């Protein structure tokens, strides 16, 4: 038997004898990944060390007022940032800003995810829909979402709706484009097999298209989440009344640089947590995909 042939199914009675038997010449042996404990522990140690080194370098450069072409003497030190963070964490305003930004990002991103997947599938599956929507989408897609702030101010009666619109626009196009490419990249053999067995368009969509495009869709969702955070913070700085971006900009206008750094760290943590949630959902939804090391998540 060569390695390209499909091995016959092993009967249940022969399984004990097959366990531990030497592999045939030329057979592909799955490669085991690193141990779950030692491998993860070492990776987390490296991550923690990288953060500690960066924090130590920041503290050293700021307390010594270093001027190495870049002027670190203008930046606050870690103890000043920590003191400001402690003060903000003790206030109600900080948590109201967090909730406001999260509400905006989840609303805009959720709408963009639904609309982006639906439009991406329609444009890729229906030539007529592609002819109607394609030119409009391609004409609007190169425009940065933050450049639509004046249009949002004119269109929507409230700033809140305009910020959600900016967030939606920022996340919509990465999701739509990734979904469209994922649908077009599906092997036609899969659809032909379902139709040969009597499946209709609904069966093809539910059993072939939607499961097959999940890896590409979640790639677009991950990119869309990052772009959405960039635009929602920018929109809050321009026309918001609450939110992390608005508070960070207000801190800059009153020359409160420790508060500015606290706002930046908060934005980074929020973006990291939401992106990690999207990636975790993607791994759970695509457990059938082979992973690095031969395992599955």
Q: What is the mean pLDDT of residues 111-132?
A: 91
> Do the Cβ atoms of 163 and 236 come closer than 8 Å?
yes
Domains, the chain? 73-287 (1.10.3720.10)
- Given a cut of 70, is residue 294 above it in pLDDT? no
Q: 20 CB contacts (<8 Å, ≥6 apart)?
A: none
Q: How far apart are CA 149 and CA 233, in angstroms?
A: 12
Percent of the chain having pLDDT more than 70?
Answer: 84
Residue 200 pLDDT grade (very low, low, confident, very high; cuts 50, 70, 90): confident
- Give the torsion sign (CA, 150, 153, 159, 160): negative
How many angstroms separate the CA atoms of 283 and 291, rounded?
A: 10
Whether the pLDDT of residue 7 is over 50: the answer is: no
Average pLDDT, the chain: 82
Buried b (16+ CB within 10 A) or exposed e, 59-89: eebbeeeeeeeeebeebbbbeebeebbeebe
Q: pTM for this structure? A: 0.76
Range name among 7-21, 45-59, 185-199 with the lowest pLDDT average: 7-21
Q: What average pLDDT does range 2-29 have in this prediction? A: 43
What confidence score (pLDDT) does residue 150 get?
A: 85
According to DSSP, the β-strands at 67-68 and 70-71 are antiparallel
Q: What is the pLDDT of residues 86-117, one digit of tens each?
A: 999 999 999 999 999 999 999 999 999 999 99
For residue 67, the 8-state DSSP code is E
Q: Tell me: the pLDDT tens digits for 17-42?
A: 433 444 444 444 445 545 445 578 88
Average pLDDT, stretch 167-187? 91
Q: In whole angstroms, what is the distance from residue 40 CA to residue 233 CA?
A: 33
Backbone angles phi, psi at 241, to 5 degrees: -115, -25
**Alpha-carbon distances, residue 203 vs 19, 45, 114, 185, 273 (angstroms):** 40, 47, 20, 19, 36
Angle in degrees, CA 131, 134, 136, rounded to 5: 115
Taking a C-beta distance cutoff of 8 angstroms, is the pair 116, 173 a contact? Answer: yes
Report which of 96, 81, 35, 4 is spatially closest to residue 261, judged by C-alpha positions: 81
Tell me the average pLDDT across 122-147: 89
Torsion angle of C-alpha atoms 117, 158, 138, 132, degrees rounded to 10 = 70
pLDDT value at position 16?
Answer: 40
Q: Report the pLDDT value the prediction gives residue 190, as an integer from 0 to 100.
A: 72
């Amino acid at each position: 038997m060569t390695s390209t042939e499909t091995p016959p199914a092993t009967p249940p009675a022969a399984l004990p004898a097959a366990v531990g038997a030497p592999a045939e010449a030329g057979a592909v042996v799955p490669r085991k990944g690193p141990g779950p404990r030692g491998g993860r522990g070492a990776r987390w140690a490296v991550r923690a060390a990288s953060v500690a080194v960066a924090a130590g370098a920041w503290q050293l450069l700021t307390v010594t007022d270093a001027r190495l072409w870049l002027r670190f003497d203008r930046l606050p030190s870690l103890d000043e940032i920590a003191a400001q963070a402690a003060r903000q964490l003790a206030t109600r305003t900080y948590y109201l800003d967090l909730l406001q930004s999260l509400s905006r990002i989840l609303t805009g991103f959720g709408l963009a995810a639904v609309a982006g997947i639906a439009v991406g599938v329609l444009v890729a599956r229906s030539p007529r829909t592609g002819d109607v929507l394609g030119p409009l989408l391609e004409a609007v897609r190169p425009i940065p979402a933050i450049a639509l702030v004046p249009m949002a101010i004119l269109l929507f009666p409230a700033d809140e709706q305009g910020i959600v619109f900016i967030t939606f626009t920022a996340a919509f196009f990465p999701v739509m484009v990734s979904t469209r490419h994922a649908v077009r990249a599906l092997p036609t053999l899969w659809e032909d097999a379902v139709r040969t067995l009597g499946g209709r368009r609904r069966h093809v969509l539910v059993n072939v298209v939607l499961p097959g495009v999940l890896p590409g869709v979640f790639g677009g969702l991950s990119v869309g989440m990052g772009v959405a955070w960039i635009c929602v913070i920018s929109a809050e700085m321009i026309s918001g009344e609450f939110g992390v971006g608005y508070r960070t900009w207000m801190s800059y206008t009153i020359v409160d640089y420790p508060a500015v750094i606290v706002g930046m760290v908060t934005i980074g943590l929020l973006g990291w947590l939401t992106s990690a949630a999207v990636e975790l959902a993607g791994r759970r939804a695509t457990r059938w995909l082979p992973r690095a090391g031969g395992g599955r998540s």
